[in-house]
Amino acid sequence: MAEKTAQKAQRTVGEETYEPGVPDGPQNWRHKLRDRDEMLRYLETGERYWFSDEWYGSEKRRTPA
């Protein structure tokens, strides 16, 4: 406990850069995908690690799949 308090006292970064408390209700961001075009576009962006040819991260340097 003493350790925790000491650590808190030392903190210098990031304080109050967020909103304290918990949000009201689910943040249903998936409802923002309104139609199939948007859903497929999301696949190439949001799920690009699996669905876009351009994005293979470290794997890009290896033999492509």
Place of tokens 């876009």: 52
Interior angle at CA 64, CA 63 and CA 65, nearest 5: 120
Q: Report the residue from 4, 6, 53, 54 that binds other proteins according to the rule CB under 8 A.
A: 4
Token pair in block for residue 4: 């925790």
Q: Site map for other proteins, 28-47, x if CB under 8 A? A: xxx-xx--x--xxxxx-xxx
Q: Considering only residues 10 through 29, tell me which ones interact with other proteins, judged by CB under 8 A.
A: 10-15, 17-29
Torsion sign across C-alpha atoms 4, 7, 8, 9: positive
Which residues lie near other proteins (CB under 8 A)?
A: 3-4, 7-8, 10-15, 17-30, 32-33, 36, 39-43, 45-47, 49-51, 55-63, 65
